[in-house]
Amino acid sequence: MKRSKDELEFFERLETYKKIAAIKTPKGLEEAIKYKDRISAVFLLMGNILTIKNYVELFQKEGLPVFVHIEKIGGLSINSEGLDFIANYIKPLGIVTTKPNVISMAKKRKLMTVQRIFMIDTEVYDYAKQMDKAEVDLIEIMPSRLPHVIQSLSREMDTPLITGGLLTEKEHAQEALACGALAVTTSSSNVWKADLT
C-alpha cells in the first residue's frame, strides 16, 4: 500500500516516540501540547461537531498528527455524510472506531483507520486476527494489560498493533512494547513525558 507523506511521517513518529496521547478532557489538550516533542500523535476522544475542528487544527498547528474517535464526537452521525464531514471539513489524518463497517467508508475518503478492539474473550481474539486481512492501518487492542494476548497477536498478524486502556505507568508501556505493540495509547501525561527506552 502506497502511503502519503503525512502517513509516512506519522509512522516515523510512531517508531520514534511509541506513545499516542488519548485526549479526554480540555486539560489534556494543554498537556499534550506541552509534551508534543515526546508523543507520536493524538487521539481525540472528546468534542462535538461544533468544537472538533478547532481541536484538530490546534494540534495540526503544533505539528502533531490527529485522529478522531468518531463515536466520541457529540452530534455526529456515523454514516456516509458524517464521514464526509470528517474527511472534507475536519480533516484529521485519520479516525479511530470500534465499528468495522466504518473502516471501508473512511478508507474511501483517504482517512487512515484505527480499529479499536476490546479483548473480552476468544471470539474477539479470533475476530482481531480476521481484521488483519482488512484495510485497517492499525489495530488497537484494549486493555493494554494483556501482555500474552498482545504478544500472540503481534506474532500472528501483519497489521501493526497498538494498545491502550488501563495504562497509567511507564512500566505498563514498556511491558506492552516488549510484547510486540508498536506503540501505546494513554491519557496519562506521566507516560507521555516518560522515556520508554
pLDDT digits (tens, 9 = 90+) for 7-20: 999 999 999 999 99
Q: What is the pLDDT of residue 1?
A: 64
Whether the Cβ atoms of residue 47 and residue 73 lie closer than 8 Å to each other = yes
Compute the average pLDDT of residues 45-74: 97
pLDDT digits (tens, 9 = 90+) for 175-184: 999 999 999 9
Tell me the percentage of the chain whose pLDDT exceeds 90. Answer: 91
b/e 133-170 (16+ beta carbons within 10 angstroms → b): eeebbbbbbbbbebbebbbbbbeebebbbbbbbebeee
Compute the average pLDDT of residues 115-132: 90
pLDDT digits (tens, 9 = 90+) for 47-60: 999 999 999 999 99
**Considering the domain 5-192, what is its CATH architecture?**
Alpha-Beta Barrel (3.20)
Residues 6 or more apart from 134 whose CB is under 8 A from it? 100, 103, 115, 159
